[in-house]
Structure 1
Amino acid sequence: MSMKSPSTDESVRDELAGAVALFHSLSDPTRLAIARHLAHGEARVVDLTRALGLPQSTVSSHLACLRDCRLITGRPEGRQVFYALARPELLDLFAAAETLLAATGNAVALCPTYGTDTGSETTEETTR
């Protein structure tokens, strides 16, 4: 993804479509947790359900999404499938994300749109 000056031009949107799809595919907490787990090595569905505490159907559906995005691969062995990251570059992406999160402190967590800071209540919630 090359970085160009900001524009609302349709060609720029088209150019960014792949990056948007990549980040969207990893924006779901379950898919990100699966990908992070697979960063440590291969795993079967049963391994992922135990590690993440999620139902098999949930894990399987998110694995299908990641596989469709070609972010993971499945290696059949008998009646089992061992899943792994398809691209080692994902490890670099995770490392870069951790570096960026550390550098920005709580800025992302406090973002009013995408933040995760649920510890403080808004004025509207406290007046109910």
Structure 2
Amino acid sequence: MAMNCARDVAPAVALFRSLGDPTRLAIVRRLAEGEARVVDLTRALGLAQSTVSKHLACLRDCRLIDYRIEGRQSFYSLTRPELVDLLRSAELLLAETGEAVALCANYGVPAAEAVATA
């Protein structure tokens, strides 16, 4: 029975892992505002082009984003509007749970960091 459960949730686990990286999540949040080029993302996120490109490739492999070519530039965008809905739902959930998720012993920000950034 446990094997079926793990198999049943595997796609969702993969989705949340793909969004669990801070850089990838920041890229998705930026693309939720509209399409962007790599140069736009590097400026907005303050990251190297190689870093952004690596994470864009991961998100493309997951089919969460795609791109269109215009001249010599690639414009990246989200493939599914449901991803924006998922982000909004996550933000609402986080607002309702207060700091419980952020302070979670397993996945949250360590308490010392939370106090330092407060």
Over aligned residues, Cα RMSD in angstroms? 1.3
> Helix, strand or coil: the match of 1:26?
helix
1:53 corresponds in structure 2 to 46
| Counterpart-to-counterpart distance in 1, 2:114 and 2:52 | 28
Using the TM superposition, give the Cα deviation of residue 120 of structure 1 relative to its aligned residue in structure 2, in angstroms: 4.3
Paired amino acid for 1:17: A
> Helix, strand or coil: the match of 2:63?
coil
For residues 7-66 of structure 1, what are the alpha-carbon distances to aligned partners after superposition, in whole Å with 9 as ceiling and x for unaligned?
A: x61011101000000000000000000000000000000000000000000000000000
Matched, 1:29 2:22: yes
Using the TM superposition, give the Cα deviation of residue 76 of structure 1 relative to its aligned residue in structure 2, in angstroms: 0.8
1:126 corresponds in structure 2 to none
Paired amino acid for 1:63: L
1:90 equivalent among 66, 80, 83: 83
For residues 68-103 of structure 1, what are the alpha-carbon distances to aligned partners after superposition, in whole Å with 9 as ceiling and x for unaligned?
A: 000001101111100000000001100100110000
2:2 corresponds in structure 1 to 9
Paired amino acid for 1:30: T
Q: State the aligned residue count.
A: 114
2:72 corresponds in structure 1 to 79
Matched, 1:63 2:60: no
5+ unaligned residues in a row in structure 2: which ranges? none
| Counterpart-to-counterpart distance in 1, 2:3 and 2:77 | 35
5+ unaligned residues in a row in structure 1: which ranges? 1-7, 122-128
> Helix, strand or coil: the match of 2:20?
coil
2:100 corresponds in structure 1 to 107
**If each structure's helix is expressed as a fraction of its own residues, which one has the higher value?**
2
> Helix, strand or coil: the match of 1:40?
coil
Paired amino acid for 2:64: L
Overall identity of the aligned pairs, in %: 67
| Counterpart-to-counterpart distance in 2, 1:99 and 1:93 | 10
TM-score of the pair, normalised by structure 2: 0.93
| Counterpart-to-counterpart distance in 2, 1:93 and 1:109 | 18
TM-score of the pair, normalised by structure 1: 0.86
